[in-house]
Structure 1
């Protein structure tokens, strides 16, 4: 119902007038746009796809298109699927480490096939997610999110310096003042807008920073518009663009991250109802949100999209505006679908020089790590919990940084052991169950 004292819409089924609803929907898109397309760019690069090439453009389009589709599953729903809350879906950073590693070593066919299977498992989790929450207290989820951020930060630095692949890092231009000037312009603009403005401009700070960095790179002659000119106006969607290739190690790794992603979605659903309606999320809403996560991920994987999850930054918009209408977010979903169907938009994004993207992901990946720390701030820092944090991070990040330390492990186990996220999560869960509470 509408709060007559504030004008806020606390009922998900209500819709503000279009003059309010459309700008609010666009605000939701602006807040998540950069974060949504970045994982596809990174995984495409890890797979060896040409930067700015048609295959990378296609993956970017699928990121936009199926983020919109997954959001519609959340806001409109389909039977038990969907929380029917204003939850914005987008491509998940949580999977980047695992999928980049799989794409680099086994190819995109294996990575996307693992996404399809992982999405199906994620969907099934919706039936009993409430019974698994005890395995993932803030200590475990915070550690996993922190590990994801710490794993990704070196990737951000490589992009900002001008490259990611080995040959690019060996080039004379790698780490040049020009590259860092462009990257830092993105960081500085994003920080200024985030902390010295408010409303839409503040929520879209990273996106505006990327635009400023892009324009600077254009002035410096770093942008190649040839892919934009060659891109068509309407996309053709291809099922299984890289075939279907099963790898047990990849499936296990993606499934483990899917469980963590599901727990995150539970948190986002709860945070949304608290922020917009001052109530707890119902079991049906939590299950529906998880079903939508999994189904959206599986469908995206079929067409070349990466796993989807709820976006926490959009929960902040609900809290800031006080507008709980799910139809506002539906408008944002339709905008994303439109963008996904226009290859010209994907080509413009793909033409973004690496240092521009690097400046953006320095902030984004740092925020992922900071989000993990924020979750851990709820945990009492006694000796038991500090030991769990220390051993879990040492195992997860250590094996990822020195993969030859486990080079003789069989393929499936080796993939999991060096993925950073999987060993961190596994060690944290085991130690949290095994170690006694301090008296």
Structure 2
């Protein structure tokens, strides 16, 4: 980790428009990329796997998977440039790093499950329309924040993680496509995942600076080397993947066509609200951690415009929904460098990687079990982040009832989708995501239930849990 004193004065470091010397700024920009690189490309691999794209370099679907990885890097770079360089009112003019969002996965996976390329047109049309709606939210984002207190946002973030943990376990055991086969859950599969988890934890807790910040990336590299060592991955397979990828390729607009799907459009528009609020929180975190001030309305609106426009561009060229990356917010606070131009260098690096498919070809050779170890950590951290947000909630009886009903219905429908077998297709896709019904229930109940309920006796709460609220004791 670079020391602040060698980069600029305290006043300069708090200025988003300050540009550190290039020899310092470029490594700092690469540092931002390393902190988010794996999390940025992982959703593309998960969506491709859900669609049924082949995982081997000889698979006919391999180019599609490679293209999705490539677009994850390219669009993240473009969307980040919108935030740092700005385009009229679009962009916060702050060091906001954009990347592919995990939040949309519970909506995307049911849309493409087992459909292969046939499911891509509806997916990307939904992403495009949802992105435009997301940008539209910038006009009044500040006015709807009252409807999304920590009770709602914390529940939603936690539900995102809970919905994805199953994916992490399946990947660690060999992949969803291997479920039911003798090769699923073998000792070698779990060993690859375990190496990643152990190395990541070791670096997170016992290392400092860049070693700790890049813990997941370094854990995956360790797992990758381990997989080669035990014969899980051969050098020939790596070479084959590398040789089958071109050295340079431009994105293709509407590569998968255009297909209107109400389930996709409604799902992405609803999730855009959650993503917009997440971005507001990240922008506030950057200004507080880097400059010790609150974010302005102009910065929040600009960040939301860029968030949505970046997602719309992703829908055109085959990327996935983008959002601001919270881990990079923490990196700004750690380094104390508020310069948006530092992040611009990182964005340029991402764009270069996105234009070189050979970079994606190397990422694609990561054994699914190794990737599983990484996503177990990442998805677990998503759950932990949601719980951390819920710590700010006043756990009175009213809020406990809202949380309980929203969690029970949302998680229950996700775990048992067959309970909705008679529900029309569009509505079924939305409800079985688990995330959307939980969010909707939490928002509606939070708006309509009277605050007086918090002070009323609700003795039916079992186990005396209500008594944990110091303001309302059992029996009052």
TM-score range normalised by the length of the shorter chain: over 0.9
**Who is 1:428 aligned against?**
442
Deviations 1:343-387 (CA, angstroms, capped at 9, x unpaired)? 111011111111000000000000111110011000011111111
Equivalent residue of 1:239, what SS? coil
* Residue 4 to residue 75, structure 1, CA distance change in 2 (3 Å): closer
Aligned counterpart, 1:140: 152
Alignment correspondent of 1:87: 96
Q: 1:173 is matched with which residue?
A: 183
- 8 Å CA contact 2:8–2:20 kept in 1: the answer is no
Tell me if 1:164 matches 2:176: yes
Q: 5+ unaligned residues in a row in structure 1: which ranges?
A: none
Tell me, yes or no, if structure 1 residue 68 matches structure 2 residue 96. no
Q: If you compute each CA radius of gyration, which structure gives the higher value, 1 or 2?
A: 2
The reply to whether residue 100 of structure 1 matches residue 109 of structure 2 is: yes
Q: 2 CA distance for matches of 1:93 and 1:176?
A: 28
Alignment of 1:281 onto 2:295: yes
SS at match of 1:232: coil
Residue from 283, 306, 317 that aligns with 2:331: 317
2:103 counterpart SS class:
helix
2:163 corresponds to: 151
Question: Is the Cα contact below 8 Å between 2:52 and 2:114 reproduced in 1?
Answer: no
Aligned CA distance change for structure 1 residues 117 and 370 (closer, same or farther; 3 Å): same
How big is the shift at 1:128? 0.8
Quote the Cα distance in structure 2 between the aligned partners of 1:123 and 1:85.
17
1:350-389 alignment runs, 5 A limit: 350-389=364-403
Q: Which residue of 1 aligns with 2:426?
A: 412
What residue number does 1:198 align with?
208
1:50 equivalent in alignment to 2:54 = yes
Tell me the distance in 2 between the aligned counterparts of 1:200 and 1:393: 37
1:215 aligns with 2:225: yes
Does the residue aligned with 1:93 lie in a helix, a strand or coil? coil
Instruction: Find the partner of 1:341 among 355, 358, 362.
Output: 355
Which residue of the other structure, out of 119, 129, 134, is the alignment partner of 1:117?
129
Q: For 1:22 and 1:237, how far apart are their aligned partners in 2? A: 26
Structure 2 residue 203 is matched with structure 1 residue 189: no
What secondary structure is seen at the aligned counterpart in 2 of 1:90?
strand
Aligned equivalents of 2:11, 2:204: Cα separation in 1: 26
Q: Secondary structure at the match of 2:258?
A: coil
1:221, CA displacement in angstroms?
A: 2.1
Deviation at 1:7, TM superposition (A): 7.5
TM-score, normalising length from structure 1? 0.97
Take 1:248 and 1:362, find their aligned partners in 2: how far apart are those partners? 32
Give the alignment partner of residue 36 of structure 2, picking from 32, 38, 62. Answer: 32
CA distance in 2 between partners of 1:424 and 1:105 (Å)? 25
Quote the offset at 1:227 in angstroms: 2.1
* Residue in structure 2 matching 1:264, options 273, 278, 286: 278
CA distance in 2, matches of 1:420, 1:353: 29
Distance in 2 separating the partners of 1:339 and 1:315 = 22
Secondary structure, aligned partner of 2:361? helix
| 8 A contact 1:273–1:281 mirrored in 2 | yes
Q: Select which of 7, 10, 22 maps to 2:26.
A: 22
Q: Contact 2:12 / 2:18 at 8 angstroms: preserved in 1?
A: no
Q: Tell me the distance in 2 between the aligned counterparts of 1:189 and 1:335.
A: 26
Deviations 1:158-194 (A, max 9, x none): 00001112xx112211111100010010001111111
- 1:24-57: CA deviations, max 9, x gaps? 1011000000100000000011111111411101
| Unaligned 5+ runs, structure 2 | 57-61, 456-476
Deviates more, 1:358-367 or 1:195-204: 195-204
After TM superposition, give the deviation of residue 8 of structure 1 in Å.
5.9
CA distance 1:227–1:111, shift in 2 (3 Å): same
8 Å contact from structure 1 (residues 81, 288) kept in 2: yes
Deviation at 1:105, TM superposition (A): 6.0
RMSD after superposition:
1.4
Give the 3-state SS of the residue equivalent to 1:360 in structure 2: helix
Q: Is the 8 A contact 1:8 1:321 kept in 2?
A: no
TM-score, normalised to structure 2's length? Answer: 0.90
Shift of 1:20: 1.3
Please state whether the residue corresponding to 2:197 is helix, strand or coil.
Answer: helix
SS at match of 1:11: coil
